[in-house]
Amino acid sequence: MAKEAKTKNAPSKVTAELLAQSLVEVNLLANADGEGEKVELRYNASIDTPEKLESDKYYFRCNFSVSKRKVEAEEDVQSVVAIYACILQHPSDDLVKVKETAKKYAATSAWNAFASLFALVTHQMRTSFPPLPASPGGIASSGRGSFDHDDVNDKSETV
């Protein structure tokens, strides 16, 4: 019995784990898409640089967008943009390792939340977007700090 009590009181090792994820911003654009006109679809999936909160906790934002634009036009006709705020527990102080782990969670947990939101929104908007893939082609780095409040489309990279 003493052995059992000893293991229960032993400090646990910190592992990488997504502690929180919350949708914090949604932007929709729903103009008429001009039936029959050629359009380009653009997808963006990125994370902002994780910021340390506590000894092993980091805050980062996941930025996702899907837009439709007439060929050779400069303005989107329709789009769905979402930002998710996340808190990641990670044992390392190495920001490169933390960022890679954050990208993995963005490509799985946050992407799945966005894909569900996207399906619901596009159905309600009655748009002709194709369904999103099970996972994004990759997660880019936005170049922004997670506490910066720039518009998600200002520095987005197409994936």
| Residue-wise pLDDT tens digits, 87-137 | 999 999 999 999 999 999 999 999 999 999 999 998 888 888 888 998 898
CA distance 110 to 43: 15
Please give the model's pTM, rounded to 2 decimal places.
0.80
Contact assessment for residue 101 and residue 90, using Cβ atoms and an 8 Å cutoff: yes
Structure tokens at 97: 């390792």
Condensed to tens digits (0 to 9), the pLDDT of residues 57-87 reads 999 999 999 998 888 888 888 899 999 999 9
Judged by phi (left if over 0) then psi (alpha if -120 to 50, else beta), residue 138 lies in left
